[in-house]
Structure 1
């Protein structure tokens, strides 16, 4: 009996035919990386392979590593495996990785989003025999509203604060979410200020040609209290810290898929929560899996048990796959969500 296309080890997802790992969480010789978030692109591997559009952020985050690149959609033979990278729609440069061995195809999704945005390469379903899927938001309660509706909410909140003399502070992760929020806001309302972690990523993505509005990094030399009507975008770790005091009276908000849950919004103690995620919602997950045509599905990081049970009811050969991948704001997963009927 031949080996499976991919196996699951204590270092990560492994391809015996190609002798490589996909998004490994412990140091390996050859790592194929789906995208630049820290739980998928970790330091310490000998050689990396990622998409051309993911590479600049990875180099910034990982330093001087041995990083080879491949165009989105192009194929490469590694040992006895044929591999290719296909758009995942999660953040700019994010990819699903297709692995074919002796005519059998497996696909590792990484993180993905099925709704197109203004920055990321749109998600493309890839036909396969087995699909390894995330299920960060794998409950029916998670159903995203159109991006245009969220944009209108954010801009109305900012405009109201500006009219009432308050700064607007919006928490968003520095790679992906912050830039997606920037793509939605109306710069005509006022100036946009950014935390250094956000601005460093902005600079890299601008150099790649991504269209982002003008922003100003918050530094010690900036007299923030005299900037009129600002929107300040900062990573969640900066919210509620002394860094915030420089803006004077401010309304604080947070952009995350977890804002769909009242318990999470309450614990965050934000004035506003904007429900926007770079992961697929319940309908998106089910659609993506159906489009692959896969009979075997492995579910990672998220509501794996509940989602796997649902897939089994639908006739899939579904399994929970234990990994060390995280999820967006994973510490905020609420018991409230886990009690929602599946």
Structure 2
């Protein structure tokens, strides 16, 4: 008789029955281990949350009054005989992989992750395991990222050109993770950074962890003349809203892995697209899996079925796909702060 899997996919989320805990559940549960602060992985309604220490202020900001505790990276803790630990995922600040060990078997759940060091997150570390649960948001060979420094050079060049033309540079990016990555690496020698409220509040939370250049909140009192020629960071949901009127004249850009596809920029009605993602590209996914030396792979959100088939047929791995309610860096890019209207 085969043994029950250490982790299984249920209607509430990824469940460890031996410990009676869930990993990034999408429905309310008694005890949840949380990989990071994005809304599809850390949802409101759980009775207790356990996460990395750096993610605590993030989820408390987004979810309000919750019963939550934090642990350090590589710090093991035991629940009903099952050993858990959090390890750097490199996705966004405070993000983790979760290692689960029981009766000599080791599983690793990545949540979301990337292998490139972005300068604001603790860099990804591969963890040896038997079974590896991996996202594959960009699990196609077409997705291959350029070095961040080269992409940021292009972004800074674009902003500088807009400055010379008397236009405000409006960069659309997730308010948690991507926005701070941009703020950290933008050239502020000749331009100032202004922020939409959602971006400003989240960046204020992360100031305790990251040394940012100066950034300013756009308020009703902010004069249009102050913004001209400078840089504005806003969530994708701000695009096309009345909030944008104060920014005229402006040029718009999106920073996303989906900018790999030419049609993505046209569909979003933006002027420029920069390929910058908080997820692994094709090569990053493959190198991560190889580094774990795992025998089994479970692919989740993204091109999971295509990617699992490739791993079986080309890499000889025992790979299957599982459906989840994680969204990854989806094409709609809905503002992920919508789960907590008090913070928007």
TM-score in terms of structure 1 length:
0.95
Return closer, same or farther for 1:226/1:204 CA change in 2, 3 Å cut-off: closer
What residue number does 1:59 align with? 60
Matches within 5 A, 1:106-145: 106-145=107-146
Residue deviations 1:210-246 (CA, integer Å, cap 9, x gap): 0111011000011033434210000000011111110
Displacement over 6 Å in runs of 4+: none
Greater Cα shift, 6-15 or 276-285: 6-15
What residue number does 2:275 align with? 275
What residue number does 1:154 align with? 155
What is the Cα deviation at residue 44 of structure 1? Answer: 0.4
Residue deviations 1:227-267 (CA, integer Å, cap 9, x gap): 34210000000011111110121000001000010111111
What residue number does 1:300 align with? 300
Tell me the SS of whatever aligns to 1:37: coil
CA distance in 1, matches of 2:148, 2:214: 21
CA distance in 1, matches of 2:88, 2:209: 18
What is the Cα deviation at residue 4 of structure 1? Answer: 1.7
CA distance in 1, matches of 2:226, 2:257: 33
CA distance in 2, matches of 1:218, 1:62: 24
CA distance in 2, matches of 1:226, 1:189: 13
Alignment length (residue pairs)? 331
Residue deviations 1:100-128 (CA, integer Å, cap 9, x gap): 00110000000000001110000000000
CA distance in 1, matches of 2:196, 2:332: 22
What residue number does 1:2 align with? 3
TM-score in terms of structure 2 length:
0.95
Residue deviations 1:57-81 (CA, integer Å, cap 9, x gap): 1000111110011111100001120
What RMSD over aligned residues (CA atoms) do the two structures have, in Å?
1.0
The 8 Å contact of residues 252 and 270 in structure 1, kept in 2 or not, is answered as yes
The 8 Å contact of residues 228 and 247 in structure 2, kept in 1 or not, is answered as no
CA distance in 1, matches of 2:127, 2:224: 48
The 8 Å contact of residues 114 and 280 in structure 1, kept in 2 or not, is answered as yes
Tell me the SS of whatever aligns to 2:69: strand
Matches within 5 A, 1:23-34: 23-34=24-35
What is the Cα deviation at residue 148 of structure 1? Answer: 0.6
Structure 2: which 5+ residue stretches go unaligned?
A: 334-344
CA distance in 2, matches of 1:182, 1:329: 22
Does residue 39 (structure 1) correspond to residue 40 (structure 2)? The answer is yes
Tell me the SS of whatever aligns to 1:161: helix
CA distance in 2, matches of 1:324, 1:228: 41
The 8 Å contact of residues 128 and 292 in structure 2, kept in 1 or not, is answered as yes
What is the Cα deviation at residue 2 of structure 1? Answer: 3.2
CA distance in 1, matches of 2:186, 2:226: 21
What residue number does 2:12 align with? 11
Does residue 91 (structure 1) correspond to residue 92 (structure 2)? The answer is yes
What residue number does 2:245 align with? 245
Tell me the SS of whatever aligns to 2:54: coil
CA distance in 2, matches of 1:37, 1:127: 26
Residue deviations 1:286-331 (CA, integer Å, cap 9, x gap): 0001101111100000001110110001101000111111111343
CA distance in 2, matches of 1:68, 1:185: 34
